[in-house]
């Protein structure tokens, strides 16, 4: 096991997923070093290496739309900034509605997205069929579409930010577990790891599905729940599908990669928590096969190449937790992204870095900060479009 090179760091970050690495990169660019990132697994071993690569700007709330729009702009320039091709294709996102009530909900979302200057559209069944060749007749009453949404390949994105952060002097230790936080006079004083303790006045919790567990190790409670979601890849076929497709009713989603593979998943309602691991359940493959082929029958003859799972990191109101914890100054939250850390990481990490540096942020703490969960008060807003 590799040990930290220093006894003390200006900032330590728990979690080397896309949010943790982007945050380290932002802080290093701001001259906040020395910075240490630790992760209990391998690079891309968590949700950052297990997602479908979707990046969308269609959301229920204005704040999330703005973060997503900023992230899309960042991914468009990713190759120039980091020197890695992430194959970001703005080929659209299409939400499917099976009932008039679902279509009415998507219409409200599209109106909000359009008010933010994005060309969101509501499609009738014929418009949906033009974008999903072979969709079963009568399967939908319509859909919501935004052509500037799209997909990317997660792995070169992770490696690109990882290499850029290290080039700026960030130290990344993999296979090292963060086991606790020490404090002095009520303020963060150090991080305890399986490779030994280090002194630090700032600890960032970017542990994804394990963020609730690590927060408790630090002595603060957050209401995050880890939920396992499953995904698969089907063998390549001739290209026929441009957008990522998501169905509102059951969370079914799928897209076609540039290699022709169909990649998608389905909500399965596993017990909460990380103890079940990230394997594939016996129920997933047959249910996914029935559900997907009922919607697009032409996919029925394809073989499954591989299947896997990963953890969403869900909060009660659907917003991530971003900001310093007033119960433990120096402890900064950067988690609770559900299954959408990749979508929001470039923009969200800038706000996490602001919290670490204690510079002003445009995020409303009553909407994103940990204090919104203190006491019995209801959340100020709820982000409900936690699909795909």
Question: By the 8 A CB rule, do 245 and 132 touch?
Answer: yes
Q: Please state the φ and ψ torsions of residue 354, each to the nearest 5 degrees.
A: -60, -45
Condensed to tens digits (0 to 9), the pLDDT of residues 274-330 reads 887 788 899 999 999 999 999 999 999 999 999 999 999 999 999 999 999 999 999
pLDDT computed for residue 279 by the predictor: 84
Return the CA Rg of the chain.
21
Q: Which domains does the chain have, with CATH numbers?
A: 1-88+150-224+315-388 (3.50.50.60), 89-149+225-312 (3.30.9.10)
| CB within 8 Å of 98: residues ≥ 6 apart | 139, 140, 141, 247, 248, 249
pLDDT computed for residue 71 by the predictor: 98
Alpha-carbon distance of 260 to 302, in angstroms, equals: 12
Alpha-carbon distance of 24 to 158, in angstroms, equals: 12
Q: How many CB atoms lie within 10 A of CB 29?
A: 12
Alpha-carbon distance of 22 to 388, in angstroms, equals: 22
Alpha-carbon distance of 183 to 185, in angstroms, equals: 7
Bridging pattern class, strands 253-256 and 244-247: antiparallel
Condensed to tens digits (0 to 9), the pLDDT of residues 113-151 reads 999 999 999 999 999 999 999 999 999 999 999 999 999
| CB within 8 Å of 288: residues ≥ 6 apart | 230, 232, 264, 265, 266
Q: How many CB atoms lie within 10 A of CB 41?
A: 16
184-200 average pLDDT score: 97
Q: What percentage of the chain reaches a pLDDT higher than 70?
A: 97
Q: Mean pLDDT for the chain?
A: 94
Question: By the 8 A CB rule, do 26 and 341 touch?
Answer: no
pLDDT computed for residue 269 by the predictor: 86
Output the pTM of the full model. 0.95
Q: Is the pLDDT of residue 48 over 60?
A: yes
Report the b/e string of 59-97 with b at 16+ CB within 10 A.
bbbebbbbbbbbbbebbeebeeebebebebbbbbbbbbb
Q: Which of 325, 300, 100, 138 is nearest to 214 (CA)?
A: 325
| CB within 8 Å of 274: residues ≥ 6 apart | 209, 210, 213, 226, 311
Question: By the 8 A CB rule, do 38 and 100 touch?
Answer: no
Q: Please state the φ and ψ torsions of residue 278, each to the nearest 5 degrees.
A: -120, 45
* pLDDT band at residue 380 under the 50/70/90 scheme: low
Question: By the 8 A CB rule, do 318 and 382 touch?
Answer: yes
Give the lowest-confidence range in 26-30, 323-327, 364-368: 364-368
Q: Is the pLDDT of residue 32 over 90?
A: yes
Residue the block writes with tokens 């040990």: 3
**In Å, how far from its chain's centre is CA 95?**
18
Alpha-carbon distance of 277 to 46, in angstroms, equals: 11
Condensed to tens digits (0 to 9), the pLDDT of residues 52-104 reads 999 999 999 999 999 999 999 999 999 999 999 999 999 999 999 999 999 99
Cα-based distances in Å from 30 to 51, 84, 353, 359: 29, 22, 9, 12
Question: By the 8 A CB rule, do 234 and 303 touch?
Answer: yes
Helix/strand/coil for 66: helix
Q: Which of 23, 28, 160 is nearest to 81 (CA)?
A: 160
Crossing angle for the helix pair 341-357 and 62-76, nearest 10 degrees?
Answer: 100
User: Residue 32 half-sphere exposure, CB side, CA atoms within 13 Å?
Assistant: 27
Q: Which of 105, 104, 139, 141 is nearest to 291 (CA)?
A: 139
């Amino acid at each position: 096991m590799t040990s930290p090179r220093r006894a003390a760091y200006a900032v330590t970050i728990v979690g080397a997923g896309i949010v943790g690495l982007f945050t380290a990169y932002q802080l290093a660019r701001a001259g906040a070093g020395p910075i240490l990132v630790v992760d209990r697994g391998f690079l891309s071993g968590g949700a950052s290496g297990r997602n479908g690569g979707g990046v969308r700007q269609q959301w229920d709330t204005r704040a999330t739309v703005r973060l997503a729009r900023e992230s899309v702009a960042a991914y468009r320039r990713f190759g120039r900034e980091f020197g890695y091709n992430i194959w970001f294709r703005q080929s659209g996102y299409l939400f499917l509605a099976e009932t008039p009530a679902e279509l009415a909900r998507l219409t409200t979302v599209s109106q909000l997205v359009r008010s933010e200057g994005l060309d969101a559209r509501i499609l009738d069944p014929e418009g949906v069929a033009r974008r999903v060749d072979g969709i079963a007749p009568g399967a939908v009453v319509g859909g919501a579409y935004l052509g500037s949404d799209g997909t990317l390949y997660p792995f070169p994105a992770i490696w690109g930010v990882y290499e850029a952060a290290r080039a700026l002097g960030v130290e990344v230790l993999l296979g090292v577990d963060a086991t606790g936080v020490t404090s002095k006079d009520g303020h963060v004083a150090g991080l305890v790891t399986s490779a030994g303790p280090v002194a630090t006045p700032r600890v960032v919790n970017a542990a994804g599905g394990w963020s609730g567990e690590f927060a408790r190790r630090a002595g603060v409670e957050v209401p995050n729940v880890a939920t396992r979601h499953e995904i698969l890849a089907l063998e390549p076929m001739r290209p026929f599908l441009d957008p990522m497709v998501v169905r509102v009713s059951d969370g079914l989603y799928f897209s076609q990669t540039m290699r022709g593979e169909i990649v998608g998943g389905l909500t399965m309602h596993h017990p909460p928590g990380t103890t079940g691991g990230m394997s594939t359940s016996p129920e997933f493959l047959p249910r996914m096969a029935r559900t997907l082929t009922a919607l697009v029958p032409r996919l029925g003859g394809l073989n499954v190449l591989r299947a896997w799972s990963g953890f969403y990191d869900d909060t009660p109101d659907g917003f991530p937790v971003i900001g310093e914890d007033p119960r433990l100054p120096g402890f900064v939250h950067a988690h609770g992204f559900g299954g959408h850390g990749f979508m929001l990481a470039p923009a969200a990490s800038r706000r996490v870095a602001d919290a670490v540096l204690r510079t002003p942020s445009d995020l409303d703490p009553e909407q994103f900060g940990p204090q919104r969960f203190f006491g019995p008060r209801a959340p100020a807003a709820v982000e409900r479009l936690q699909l795909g």
